[in-house]
Amino acid sequence: MKDPVRLERYQRWRAVFGTKQGQSVLEDIKKMTGQDVTTAFVAGNSGVDPYYTILREGRRTIWLDIQKCLTEPPELPKEEGEE
């Protein structure tokens, strides 16, 4: 069963990001969120900086959420007895 709220978001986002300008914005977001850079153990002044590592991983998670929303139509788990 499709979740109507998530399905509407999926459709809106696909409509916006499916355009040439939307693809350009996605590329900007990809760069801003550091998708192409590892977030594992970012070095700081005194070794590993866990706070900066977490910050970068949070940015990367935003990109992953956008990609998931654009590529996977939302589904709800089937309830018992539903086919």
How do residues 28-65 score in pLDDT, each as one tens digit? 999 888 877 766 666 666 677 778 778 888 888 899 88
Q: What is the model's pLDDT at position 42?
A: 61
Q: What is the model's pLDDT at position 24?
A: 96
Q: What is the model's pLDDT at position 80?
A: 55
C-alpha span between 75 and 41 (Å, rounded): 35
Q: What is the model's pLDDT at position 17?
A: 93
Residues 6+ apart with CB under 8 A from 22: 16
Positive/negative CA dihedral, 79, 80, 82, 83: positive
Q: Mean pLDDT, the chain, as a whole number?
A: 80
